[in-house]
Amino acid sequence: MRYTLNDDWRFLPDGVEFAEKAWLSDAGWQRVNVPHTWNATDPFDDVESYRRGASWYRKHFTLADSLRGRRLLLHFEGANQVARVYVNGAFVGQHKGGYTAFTVDFTRHARFGADNLVAVEVDNSHDPMIPPLSVGFALYGGIYRDVWLVATDPVHVTTSDLGSSGVAVTTPEVSAERGTVRVRGAVTNDGAPARQLRVVSTVLDAAGREVARGETSVTAAPNASAGFDTALPPVARPHLWSPDDPYLYAVYTDVYDGARLADRVTSPLGFRWFRFGPDGFFLNGKKTFLRGTNRHQDYAGLGSALSNTQHVRDLEIIKTMGANFLRLAHYPQDPAVLDAADRLGLLIWEEVPVVNHITVDSEFTRNAQTMLREMIRQHRNHPSVVTWGIMNEVFLWSEAGERIGRQSDTTYMREVRDFAHGMDAVARAEDPSRFTTMAIHGATSYDESGVAAITQILGLNLYNGWYSGTLDEFGPTLDRRHAKSPSQAIVVSEYGSGSELRLNAVVPERFDHSGAYHRLYHESYLRQARARPWLAGTAVWNEFDFAQPHIGESTPNMNKKGLLTFDRQPKDVYYLYKANWNPTPMVYVASRDWRHRAGIDSTGARTVTQPVDVYSNAGPVELLVNGKSLGTRAPDDVTKASWQVPFAAGDNVIEARAGKVVDRLVIRMDVVPRALRDTTWREIAVNVGSNAQYFDDTGPVWLEDRAYAPGSFGYVGGKAALMAREIVITDTKQTPLYVTYRAGLDAYRFDVPDGDYELELRFAEPGGAQGAGAAGGALPPGEAPGAHAFGVAVNGRTLVERLDLATRRNVAPARPITTEVSATNGSGVVVTFRPIAGQAVLNAIRIRRK
Ligand code: GCB
């Protein structure tokens, strides 16, 4: 019998003394339900980072008298990252590691018909002995998964097997003709005398019909456990499990004490066989390309404290996209995730959070190996799991926790190799039926140290065309690795680029965070992966945007590589995958992220010609714009068809038709005349230093930047630049407008007719970081550190004598200035910059006719 103890906890965000004692009042504590994290929103605090430290949770509960004589346990699905549990003041257990479940026994301390108090101290402080050490995601503290009260008979399946159910179900032999099942575990007799027990394992099909049964007798001495290992008779012509047909059986493991059923454990079962090899992945004898993605477990506003239904919904989104593979990066996830993967049909790569570097210490190794064992024992019965991951990019940081490009410390490299060998050996011994894997980045250290050759599968995290180089380098990089590792299966465990719903571009560029570049990136990777039939599979980084504290970019503290946003709105790029991977006929106008555009009149007839892409897996597509056909096109090899669309000023109805499937979208176009003396314009806003347009519903479309041309507008002199990734822009919600800028410009000009104007200039210090950019190595660096001080004049009149943007390290507050200006005698509006220290910079500019 078990039920959740999720409701009505008291929470204190502090590490006080005696919090486990009933006499300490918790009347002033916050009321919370679990799942709960105290870091639901503070990873997004602009400057101070999120709180890592100790907190207390307490819950009062009563135990029914009928539970007397039972074994009483608390099962925590996850608490990050060290949890110390007390019941009625007594310490009952401790667990290290934030991503695996644990069970504590409090039978001796239970009170019946009276108040019981469970108190849990949870601490997510950095601990050099507990993986992960440094990560690019938030280590949310708290009891952020379900808590269960479990009551068993004194005779029961062992509950002390590293948080697992105590039962291991394997399928030693599976073919289309027959499937054999083996059930192992242990039973415990908490009482006296010794007991002769029967362990009966039954396989039930999806309709609940018994298809196999086996029995083992065990003698359990008083207060002792005894193992069982039951081989069941084969199931003839088993209904195989696969992503296309995720047919599930169930196994009941029943413990009988005489005629009495003392305990039952239910395990999922799927019959399937698979292998990974240098020639790819094979499931049930069929070559299967792993069409995959990655998932972090956090969500806008909730942090890591998701309900089970939210976990399940994430997997449904992934399945609907047409994926058949999911990497649970970088840590074991909620049991609801594994259940959903079994039921929906998603093959799983699950891994332990050994990320970036290790601590060379036997305690760290012990903790990492325990986590690995816990993960495997807790999730090994899920047919969806095909590989266990032992680490991710372990050479990205140095032993001392510095982000470095390349390892040169050969002693450390040897230590990492030994560590990896140890982890790999644990995984293989725990579960010979799965394959071992690790994910590596592009450094040579993995080969030099021998680490790359340790696991059966090698995962590659590749970002060609994002952090470095060009998109076309992805395929050749894969080929070189294939040649170097001829005996390993290769999976692209990560690839991705960032995008931001508010940015889009006609001419997308690397790192512009436009939806257009995001799509281009994934189109290119899809194509290149497809051309390599030996590849086992690929996994997008990442299905969802997720929190990444200490990073700047277009939305501070967020990793924007998701195919969906942090609150699960699909970006256009999601439909690229759906069109390619989900056979359901669809057509999609790939401009939901860019429904309000602007552009300079291309014909003089108040029209702007810009591209529109459509994804269709339903055959040739006809595009109609405002009811007029622009012709029919056949989609290319990644389902894309493109048109140059002449947009009229205002709303344009775009309709794409592929046979019976239709998609319709209204795109609004703001037309800026070529010559500003044509006063059909009211406002011109420019995202200075960027090739991308910005729009956020609160104001105008901010155009991509342009060089000045007489009669029109634009910059004079200078160079387009990008803030270093580490710089967090504060005091604005319109961060993308500040991320790009023009440095060293002489002027910004608008050849407007005489009249009165409102002019807004926006600035932020790009050199706020000491050595920013360099730390990331491969990233486009921002300006060199140092003060930027300059004067600004408008039409010859000083606006600011000395604008000094220098500020704290890695923090750049947004600095907007609005002024009024009159253009007289054909002066137009001319903003001039006079450098005092370093170069002048400008991040955005806007002019409005009054
Ligand atoms: C990686 C890491 C992942 C990061 C990702 C990125 O290689 O494994 O944790 O989030 O790159 O977006 O930089």
List, in sequence order, every residue forming a beta bridge with 759; answer none if it has no partner: 819, 847
Claim to verify: residue 661 and residue 713 sit in the same structural domain: no
With a cut of 60, say whether residue 769 has pLDDT above it.
no
Pocket test for ligand 1, best of 438, 541, 550, 725 (most atoms within 8 A of CB): 541
Cis preceding linkage at 441, omega within 30: no
Give the C-alpha separation, 426 to 7, whole Å: 37
With a cut of 70, say whether residue 784 has pLDDT above it.
no
Question: Is the CB of residue 136 below 6 angstroms from any atom belonging to ligand 1?
Answer: yes
Residue 807 alpha carbon to ligand 1 centre in Å: 28
Whether residue 813 is contained in a domain is answered as: yes
Whether residue 591 is contained in a domain is answered as: no
For residue 262, what are its two tokens? 């003392």
Claim to verify: residue 99 and residue 146 sit in the same structural domain: yes
CATH code, 770: 2.60.120.430
- Percent of the chain's residues with pLDDT above 70: 97
SS3 letters across 492-539: EEECCCCCCCCEECCCCCCCCCCHHHHHHHHHHHHHHHHCCCCCCEEE
Give the C-alpha separation, 334 to 76, whole Å: 11
With a cut of 80, say whether residue 775 has pLDDT above it.
no
Pocket test for ligand 1, best of 559, 566, 725, 726 (most atoms within 8 A of CB): 559
Question: Is the CB of residue 392 below 6 angstroms from any atom belonging to ligand 1?
Answer: yes
Whether residue 274 is contained in a domain is answered as: no
* Ligand 1 atom with the shortest distance to the CA of 559: 12
Say if residues 183 and 232 touch (Cβ distance below 8 Å).
yes
User: How would DSSP label each residue in 366-415?
Assistant: HHHHHHHHHHHHHHTT-TTEEEEEEEE-TTSB-TTS-B-SS---HHHHHH
Q: What does the pLDDT look like over 560-604, one tens digit per residue?
A: 999 999 999 999 999 999 999 999 999 999 999 999 999 999 888
Q: How many CB atoms lie within 10 A of CB 308?
A: 17
With a cut of 70, say whether residue 753 has pLDDT above it.
yes
Claim to verify: residue 179 and residue 317 sit in the same structural domain: no
Claim to verify: residue 498 and residue 370 sit in the same structural domain: yes
User: Nearest 5°: phi and psi at 186?
Assistant: -145, 150
Closest CA to 555 of 700, 687, 732, 722: 732
Q: What does the pLDDT look like over 216-266, one tens digit per residue?
A: 999 999 999 999 999 999 999 999 999 999 999 999 999 999 999 999 999
Q: What is the pLDDT of residue 621?
A: 98
Collapsed DSSP state (helix, strand, coil) of residue 590: coil
Give the C-alpha separation, 369 to 379, whole Å: 15
- In sequence order, the 6+-apart residues with CB closer than 8 A to the CB of 709 are none
Question: Is the CB of residue 559 below 6 angstroms from any atom belonging to ligand 1?
Answer: yes
Claim to verify: residue 492 and residue 462 sit in the same structural domain: yes
Number of domains within the chain: 5
Q: What is the pLDDT of residue 773?
A: 33
Residue 134 belongs to domain spanning = 2-157
* Ligand 1 atom with the shortest distance to the CA of 441: 7
Side-chain-facing half-sphere of 588: CA atoms under 13 Å:
22
Whether residue 283 is contained in a domain is answered as: no
For residue 294, what are its two tokens? 């990655």
- In sequence order, the 6+-apart residues with CB closer than 8 A to the CB of 630 are 623, 624, 643, 645
Residue 136 alpha carbon to ligand 1 centre in Å: 7
Question: Is the CB of residue 294 below 6 angstroms from any atom belonging to ligand 1?
Answer: no
Q: Which residues of 636-647 are buried (b: 16+ CB within 10 A; e: fewer)?
A: eebbbbebebbb
Nearest CA owner, ligand 1 atom 7: 461
CATH code, 416: 3.20.20.80
Whether residue 280 is contained in a domain is answered as: no
Whether residue 276 is contained in a domain is answered as: no
What is the pTM assigned to this prediction?
A: 0.96
* Ligand 1 atom with the shortest distance to the CA of 392: 8
Give the C-alpha separation, 365 to 615, whole Å: 48
Claim to verify: residue 511 and residue 457 sit in the same structural domain: yes
CATH code, 638: 2.60.40.10
Claim to verify: residue 260 and residue 313 sit in the same structural domain: no
Nearest CA owner, ligand 1 atom 10: 136
Q: Which residue's structure tokens are 């009811």?
A: 627
With a cut of 70, say whether residue 694 has pLDDT above it.
yes
Claim to verify: residue 563 and residue 633 sit in the same structural domain: no
Confidence of residue 309 (pLDDT cuts 50, 70, 90): very high
Torsion of CA 834, 835, 839, 843, to 10 degrees: -40
Claim to verify: residue 660 and residue 686 sit in the same structural domain: no
Nearest CA owner, ligand 1 atom 9: 136
Phi-psi region of 674 (alpha: psi -120 to 50; beta: other; left: phi over 0): alpha
Claim to verify: residue 441 and residue 505 sit in the same structural domain: yes
Cis preceding linkage at 35, omega within 30: yes
* Percentages (nearest 5) of helix, strand, coil residues in the chain: 15, 40, 45
Q: What is the pLDDT of residue 163?
A: 98
Q: What is the pLDDT of residue 787?
A: 63
- In sequence order, the 6+-apart residues with CB closer than 8 A to the CB of 276 are 386, 387, 435, 456, 457, 489, 536
Residue 463 alpha carbon to ligand 1 centre in Å: 9
Claim to verify: residue 787 and residue 840 sit in the same structural domain: yes
Q: How many CB atoms lie within 10 A of CB 428?
A: 15
Residue 666 alpha carbon to ligand 1 centre in Å: 35
Claim to verify: residue 19 and residue 113 sit in the same structural domain: yes
Q: Which residue's structure tokens are 């104001």?
A: 699
| Average pLDDT for 120-139 | 96
With a cut of 70, say whether residue 133 has pLDDT above it.
yes
Say if residues 751 and 698 touch (Cβ distance below 8 Å).
no
Question: Is the CB of residue 356 below 6 angstroms from any atom belonging to ligand 1?
Answer: no
Whether residue 590 is contained in a domain is answered as: no
Domain boundary at 128, 157, 186, which? 157
Q: How many CB atoms lie within 10 A of CB 286?
A: 9
Nearest CA owner, ligand 1 atom 1: 461
Question: Is the CB of residue 296 below 6 angstroms from any atom belonging to ligand 1?
Answer: no
Q: What does the pLDDT look like over 60-105, one tens digit per residue?
A: 999 999 999 999 999 999 999 999 999 999 999 999 999 999 999 9
Q: How far is CA 126 from CA 76, 97, 244, in A?
A: 21, 11, 42
Residue 532 alpha carbon to ligand 1 centre in Å: 24
Q: What is the pLDDT of residue 602?
A: 81
Residue 323 alpha carbon to ligand 1 centre in Å: 20
Domain boundary at 527, 555, 585, which? 585
Pairing of strands 224-231, 167-170: unpaired
| Average pLDDT for 781-801 | 78
Say if residues 624 and 667 touch (Cβ distance below 8 Å).
no
CATH code, 60: 2.60.120.260
- Percent of the chain's residues with pLDDT above 90: 91
Sheet holding 2-4, edge to edge: 2-4, 147-152, 71-76, 102-105
Whether residue 279 is contained in a domain is answered as: no
Q: What does the pLDDT look like over 445-477, one tens digit per residue?
A: 999 999 999 999 999 999 999 999 999 999 999
Domain boundary at 671, 699, 724, which? 671
Helices and strands (DSSP H and E) totals, the chain: 9, 60
With a cut of 80, say whether residue 625 has pLDDT above it.
yes
Pocket test for ligand 1, best of 293, 354, 494, 500 (most atoms within 8 A of CB): 494
* Ligand 1 atom with the shortest distance to the CA of 498: 12
